Structure 1
Amino acid sequence: MAATRFRQRYRSVKKDSLKTWIKSGTPWVWMNAGAVSIAVIMTLGLLAVIAVRGLEHFWPADVIVADYQIPGGEPKIMAGEVVQAEQVPRARLAASGLPVNVEGGEFMTRELLKVGNREVYGADFSWVVGEWLSDQRKPTDLVVLERREWGNFYGELLAVKEEGTLVAEGEAAWGELQQRIERIDELHQQIARLEAVDIGRINYGLERLRLKTRKLELDGQLDAAAQAELDAERAQWDAEYKALENELVALHRAFNRDSITMRTMDGQEKELSLGKVVRAYRPNAMSLPDKLGFYFAKIWEFVSDEPREANTEGGIFPAIFGTVLMTIIMAVIVTPFGVIAAVYLREYAKQGVLTRIIRIAVNNLAGVPSIVYGVFGLGFFVYVLGGSLDRIFYPEAAPAPVFGTPGLMWASLTLAILTLPVVIVATEEGLARIPRILREGSLALGATKSETLWKVVLPMASPAMMTGLILAVARAAGEVAPLMLVGVVKLAPSLPLNGNYPYLHLDQKIMHLGFHIYDVGFQSPNVEAARPLVYATALLLVLVIAILNLTAVVIRNHLREKYKALDH
């Protein structure tokens, strides 16, 4: 009996302890902590995968040369970088038409080689069966040419020529090649600066002159004196353009002067213009410091150069610039409107049914799909508002649109409308947390309501405003769907901010990192070459958003510390 009573009491105490433990909230704390930990681990893991797959693209991988013998076929020599290797069932390879003996092992190795030499082989990448590769080697004299067009070229350097005349051959050709590539880089920079800045300025001036002439015609003011003045200005622009054109022709002649003779590893010889070569290197002969220097140079090129080869080569600086500029303009637009709306709803509007309906509408707008905002921006901002601006202020440009076409301003406005509910809700919550006694104390000391608002309420609510701005920036910088309709394009290497008046061209189309990821990942004609750039661009987009958010967080924390004393 005593033992039975002890067991019953033990169960009762254990049950009471379990109830007490549950009521204390400890299980929910551990569950929340576990959920947060899992979310953090998954986020860090995703970022790690993106970083590894994106950043490894810039490493100068060794190039193998091997004999490739397909059973029953003719042997050939292949050279390339091993991009991917996987185990594939023999039955699957046999089903694809390869002469595979299905009675062997269950799996065979399939490797993806980046073979380059597109004009020779027709494709940059080739799948091969690893077991059919033999005598693999890494010759130190194998040269990789990174080109402005047609991808990489792999082979042996035979000779360097200047206007068809042999300059150097054999081992002496390597040093001569490096010197002439440096010369080509300088010429390329001069040509790019001449075309983008100097000739671009002249073309812009001639276009403004054409619009000015058309405007005078429409206003009936194009008399002989005005025509003579316009002709004189046009003659000045034409003379300047002629001088630059002659200089550009000379630069192009010098740019295309040199050529090199290359031999592929299977014995085919090709003569290539040196003007199409960005750099030449021997990856199999590079030391670790050399590879590290090359690696960081490629990363810098990625973030500072313009794209080429249908966005699968070169850099993405125009996309970075467009993303940051559009986000900044969006923040400048959405912050005052969001703050004004929140101040009205909290401080001035009569708290009744209508105000509650407005708040519900604002909260619902935060959940509207972004593509709906894109359609609204295209229909209202571009066609209605932009078309009206063109008819009123730019009739001389007709039928070509100025603001009646997607551009930077409409993309920023569309994102501002999209993120406006977030700023309104965050700001209104910040205003609601300010103690009523502070308002009453300010009024009791003789301040007006507007002075109380500007000098007491808004400064204390500024951290909440910055929180709303942080959320707005985080959402806007990563949006893609609406931007495809209102101003973002596949390729726009010319920046909307330049030296031509009015300097910031809000009507110009821009590139965006999010759209760049979509375009490279799903619209690229060279999928294998584009895949690592998708990861690299995604990592860069995350970093850009993080930097923008951290900047806003630092400002918010500074404001919070500044006005902390007023809370007590």
Structure 2
Amino acid sequence: MRGMRISMKDWVQSGSPWVWLNAGAVAISVIMVVGLLALIAVRGLAHFWPSDVVMTEVASVDGRPPLTLIGELVDQESVPASQLRSAGIKVPEGVEFADRWLIKVGNRQAFGSDFKWVLDQHMGPKRYPAHLLVMERREWGNFYGYLIGLKEKGRLIGEQPVGKNDLWPELERRIQRAVEIYDQIEQIEKVEIGAINYQIEQLRLKQKRLKLNDELTAEALDQLNAQRQTLKQRYETLQQQRNQLYQQLNRDSMIGQLSDGQQVEVKLGQVVRAYQPNAMGVGEKVSFYVQKIWEFLSDDPREANTEGGIFPAIYGTVLMVLLMSVLVTPFGVIAAVYLREYAKQGFITRLIRIAVNNLAGVPSIVYGVFGLGFFVYFLGGAIDTAFFPEAAPSPVFGTGGLMWASLTLALLTLPVVIVATEEGLSRIPRSVREGSLALGATKAETLWRVVLPMASPAMMTGLILAVARAAGEVAPLMLVGVVKLAPSLPLDGNAPFLHLDRKFMHLGFHIYDVGFQSPNVEAARPLVYATALLLVIVIGLLNVAAIAIRNRLREKYKALES
């Protein structure tokens, strides 16, 4: 055993310490990444679980009677006692820290705020009455309280004392009816009336274009007016249907009692859902949880993006990344092929490679400024002048949109694709090219049929890196097309179906907006975590798809490489 011992110098020279250091660094990195994802997942996904609603008495600090609070216990933290004493709050001597709870009390129209901080020492016993009601509304936040009455067309049709639950089945039925009517109104307003408004606007632009070209004849004007009249008749019919549905939507209302005893009337047409979490079993809560996650993935946002879903942001992110990939791949491959296969290797080529590598380190906001100045103002303005003069003074492509955002990010990720493709081309043996040429193929045929297929896994590697970077970029998008809330999706049923000039929503910008621009910070915080987790998942899915394609290509051309 003694003969097998080696000196410290020999051990260091053997490289074993560096192997262990690298392994430790990788392990620490993996643990940090997994821990970060776990933190984001826990804080984000826990938001959708139907928490029990607490009812408690809170002692007043100014000698007034205790205040009753109803709400969800959202968070707990310890506060230095010195900070509380400096604010005039009495804290027992010898206490260094005091616990306080963040309670979501909702009822913003009555209390002015959705959340209240309450010291644990001021809280009485916590009770969880089974029939406490929670209602998610499209405005004014959640309702927390008791159901004490139902109205139909302003007439009271049922009432019950606090603590009873006889009206709950009828309330559920009427809320379901209101939700179905609201969905019909949404279909009419966003789809059918939206399509008519789009067609009317296209007729207006067509008439103006004919007038600018001196082609507006009486026959053409009559034809346009006839089409416009047909659309207006359809619009009036739909408007009548919508008005009737609104009357039906506003038929029912409920009377609720808040924690302070005041009674409020809530229109059921403004209610998304109602539930009694304290009376729900585990199975009911799991079903509710799945419904909430599905709503988050498939619905439009509401309440300044602090409630509802983020489907438009998911849609915009994926569509922009796909369009960016279609734009960056051919340009990056062509540039790499020229530099590796056709350009004379010398000072100029080396200078170009240095410039490409340096472009990868340029701050993304610089690309955004370039995209705004060159793509939006210069190219977009020129396109509007040449092809859309009838839209003036409103810009079509002369303002930020999906096309310019995709082009800007394609430019940002272009160096990554060029470098990765060049590396792939450099690894193809020279004998493969010479063998193809010896069999009578031209250089172009060799490139197209032999070299590029063998280099395709490297191209996919470049695309994977490009997608990973572009999907999370926010700064350049703020200048070239992303918005807080887009009125319509870039892809819809109106010709030409893909509207490259439209602004869009993006998951990265949505995180920034909800986290730093929201007027309701406490309500927005869980959605920041949930949206961040979803952005990671979307990027992961896009990368997994690209990796699967790359591995398939690698296996296909493995024999040629060997």
Note whether the superposition's TM-score is higher than 0.5.
yes
Instruction: Select the residue among 135, 153, 156 that pairs with 2:143.
Output: 153
Could you tell which deviates more after superposition, 359-368 or 19-28?
Answer: 19-28
Task: Give the 3-state SS of the residue equivalent to 2:167 in structure 1.
Answer: helix
Match of 2:38 in 1: 48
Q: Indicate if the aligned counterparts of 1:318 and 1:493 stay in contact, CA closer than 8 A.
A: no
Which amino acid is 2:300 matched to? E
Which amino acid is 2:49 matched to? W
Match of 1:224 in 2: 218
Q: Indicate if the aligned counterparts of 1:434 and 1:461 stay in contact, CA closer than 8 A.
A: yes
Instruction: Select the residue among 347, 367, 377 that pairs with 1:383.
Output: 377
Q: Tell me the alpha carbon deviations over residues 437-484 of structure 1, each in whole angstroms, 9 at most, x when there is no partner.
A: 110111111111011111111011000000000000000000000000
Coordinate RMSD, CA, aligned: 1.2
Match of 1:96 in 2: 87
The CA distance in 2 between the partners of 1:210 and 1:511, in whole Å, is 28
1:38 to 2:32 alignment: no
Task: Give the 3-state SS of the residue equivalent to 2:265 in structure 1.
Answer: strand
Deviation at 1:102, TM superposition (A): 4.6
1:454 to 2:448 alignment: yes
Match of 1:78 in 2: 69
The CA distance in 2 between the partners of 1:192 and 1:306, in whole Å, is 11
Q: How does 1:97-496 map to 2 (within 5 A)?
A: 97-98=88-89, 100-170=90-160, 171-496=165-490
Match of 2:556 in 1: 562
Deviation at 1:161, TM superposition (A): 1.1
Q: Indicate if the aligned counterparts of 1:94 and 1:102 stay in contact, CA closer than 8 A.
A: no
Q: Tell me the alpha carbon deviations over residues 213-238 of structure 1, each in whole angstroms, 9 at most, x when there is no partner.
A: 10111111222212111111111111
Deviation at 1:79, TM superposition (A): 1.1
Q: Indicate if the aligned counterparts of 2:60 and 2:67 stay in contact, CA closer than 8 A.
A: no
Task: Give the 3-state SS of the residue equivalent to 1:160 in structure 2.
Answer: strand
Deviation at 1:246, TM superposition (A): 0.5
The CA distance in 1 between the partners of 2:561 and 2:551, in whole Å, is 15
The CA distance in 2 between the partners of 1:102 and 1:422, in whole Å, is 62
The CA distance in 2 between the partners of 1:456 and 1:106, in whole Å, is 74
Which amino acid is 1:255 matched to? L
Deviation at 1:349, TM superposition (A): 0.4
The CA distance in 2 between the partners of 1:448 and 1:295, in whole Å, is 62
Q: Indicate if the aligned counterparts of 1:306 and 1:493 stay in contact, CA closer than 8 A.
A: no
The CA distance in 1 between the partners of 2:190 and 2:329, in whole Å, is 35
Deviation at 1:266, TM superposition (A): 2.0
Q: Tell me the alpha carbon deviations over residues 226-267 of structure 1, each in whole angstroms, 9 at most, x when there is no partner.
A: 211111111111111111111111111111111000001221
TM-score of the superposition, structure 1-length normalised? 0.96
Quote the sequence identity (%): 66
Instruction: Select the residue among 522, 528, 540 that pairs with 1:528.
Output: 522
Q: Indicate if the aligned counterparts of 2:84 and 2:91 stay in contact, CA closer than 8 A.
A: no
| Runs of 4+ residues deviating >4 angstroms | none
Could you tell which deviates more after superposition, 228-237 or 299-308?
Answer: 228-237
1:548 to 2:542 alignment: yes
Task: Give the 3-state SS of the residue equivalent to 1:310 in structure 2.
Answer: coil
Q: Tell me the alpha carbon deviations over residues 49-99 of structure 1, each in whole angstroms, 9 at most, x when there is no partner.
A: 00000011101111111111124232111111111111222221111232x
The CA distance in 2 between the partners of 1:543 and 1:293, in whole Å, is 22
Which amino acid is 1:106 matched to? E
Deviation at 1:19, TM superposition (A): 2.7
Q: Indicate if the aligned counterparts of 2:59 and 2:123 stay in contact, CA closer than 8 A.
A: yes
Could you tell which deviates more after superposition, 192-201 or 163-172?
Answer: 163-172
Q: Indicate if the aligned counterparts of 1:385 and 1:404 stay in contact, CA closer than 8 A.
A: yes
Q: Indicate if the aligned counterparts of 1:88 and 1:107 stay in contact, CA closer than 8 A.
A: yes
Q: Tell me the alpha carbon deviations over residues 326-383 of structure 1, each in whole angstroms, 9 at most, x when there is no partner.
A: 0000000000000000000000000011000000000000000000000000000000
Match of 1:502 in 2: 496
The CA distance in 1 between the partners of 2:22 and 2:487, in whole Å, is 47
Q: Which runs of 5+ in 1 are unaligned?
A: 1-9
The CA distance in 2 between the partners of 1:226 and 1:449, in whole Å, is 56
The CA distance in 1 between the partners of 2:108 and 2:388, in whole Å, is 48
Q: Which runs of 5+ in 2 are unaligned?
A: none
Deviation at 1:178, TM superposition (A): 0.5
